[in-house]
Amino acid sequence: NPQPNLMKNLKENFESKYGESPLFYAFAPGRVNLIGEHIDYCGYSVLPMAIEQNILAAVSVNNSGKIQLANANPKYKDFSVSCSEEIAIDRDDPQWYYYFLCGVKGIQEKFGLNHLAGMSCVIDGTIPPSSGLSSSSALVCCSGLVTMEANQKSLSKVALAEICAKSERYIGTEGGGMDQSISFLAEAGTAKLIEFQPLRATDVKLPDGAVFVISNCCVEMNKAASSHYNIRVVECRIATKMLAQARGVDSSRLLKLAHVQMELKASLEEMLALVDEVLHPEPYSREEICKVLGITSEQFSTELLSANTQDMTQFKLHQRAKHVYGEAARVLQFKSVCDSEPADAKRLLGELMNQSHASCRDLYECSCPELDQLVDICLKSGAVGSRLTGAGWGGCAVSMVPSEKVESFLQAVREEYYLPDPRRAAMEKQSLFVSKPGGGAAIFLEE
């Protein structure tokens, strides 16, 4: 059960808004990805843990024929939609309630519900928005769970995760499923290796004597409102086709870098060598890609690009593929160190995190100057490893810190990064915190 005082406020908020008590509550946690950035949509395993911050909903079910949504934060406006009309989600205007509607639509389509149960909901949350800690996916997951319960349906956590991963694409983000999977499959006290196709989660015991500290660089990044994220998805999709083509493999049904590796029955090391051999480091133009793949410019736009990437002219295929295969290997190494518990586990894991950040910064180019500065400060302040987490271009860094250094670490980062800047100083309380692996999404009734 999440924070009791948050619950109490949410209940009071609900009662004053709707004049009745909630029937049930639901929460879905945010997450921090320890290693494995931007590779879930390429088909590779990732290694996140849920955080204690979450999205929380209070819900009553009625036959009003409407879904009424309100947010405990007055800066987010109310919204209501009829249960009988088609749910429309505006990709060009990613408002908070559209994420909620993604979850509703996912459940509606899964069960072919022509008429949804009426619901009144108030949503609250403790995950800082646009911070790379999956506040948006937690909202989609919370909504999917609420809609399932309100309509008296039942699904496994794995099925819910898959539905929510698919339905978040209605808002235009072509994500790979990590965020929704950990939100449902997390367990307190353990990180998880999340594998895809089929979706499964394995416990990863983090080393004793180390804690993970999250620090927000205070630059916001909304994946659905910008095209950076989908541009990377597209570059990886094109690199997939180019690598397959070079090895004479039919690329028409291959969309993910992991699929080429499977087709070629190659190791990740062999894939890294293939990238160096086949893809040049200079950016590719549309013309060059069309020529190599033997497709028209029209096919290129419809089959390879997404709605918000139509004006792309240059594609850094070598760098993106190199990051993905290297990062996929680091995930496996990270898990293997956790499993075998060598004496220098913390140093080894820290090195993998540092390599991951360098790859995100230099090859995938998904960092930003503030994140790089923050990561440097974290390393100087006593972290054994530090890297951006989440999509990047802003948001949070995660640092692995020896337990005995946590207090001095927090103090140093506070003084070096947050306090010199008045805007950051004002955000510091919710921007710098230790995180323990939390539990997954759940429905609960009042105590």
Catalytic machinery residues: 179
Peptide bond into 198 cis (omega under 30): yes
What is the 8-class DSSP label of residue 417?
A: I
Q: Say which amino acid occupies 339.
A: D
Question: What's the CA gap between 299 and 285, in Å, rounded?
Answer: 15
CB atoms within 10 A of CB 297: 11
Question: What's the CA gap between 178 and 159, in Å, rounded?
Answer: 14
- The answer to whether residues 390 and 364 touch, using CB atoms and an 8 Å cutoff, is no
- The answer to whether residues 167 and 105 touch, using CB atoms and an 8 Å cutoff, is yes
Q: Nearest CA to 309 among 229, 211, 419?
A: 229
Structure tokens at 386: 């530090």
Q: Is 189 left (phi over 0), alpha (psi -120 to 50) or beta?
A: left
Question: What's the CA gap between 81 and 58, in Å, rounded?
Answer: 18
CA–CA–CA angle 146, 24, 52 (5° rounding): 75
DSSP H or E run through 44 = none
Cα atoms in the Cβ-side hemisphere of radius 13 Å centred on 331: 27
Structure tokens at 21: 């008590």
Q: What DSSP string runs through 160-222?
A: HHHHHHHHGGGGT----SHHHHHHHH-BTTBEEEEETTTTEEEEEPPPTTEEEEEEE-S----
What is the length of the chain? Answer: 447
Give Cα separations from 305 to 25, 296, 394, 443 (angstroms): 40, 13, 24, 38
Instruction: List phi, psi (to 5°) of 175.
Output: -75, 170
Give Cα separations from 312 to 197, 230, 236, 245, 392 (angstroms): 30, 11, 14, 22, 20
Looking only at the bridges linking them, the beta strands covering 385-389 and 314-315 are: unpaired
Cβ neighbors of 196 (< 8 A, separation 6 or more) are 40, 43, 44, 45, 176, 177
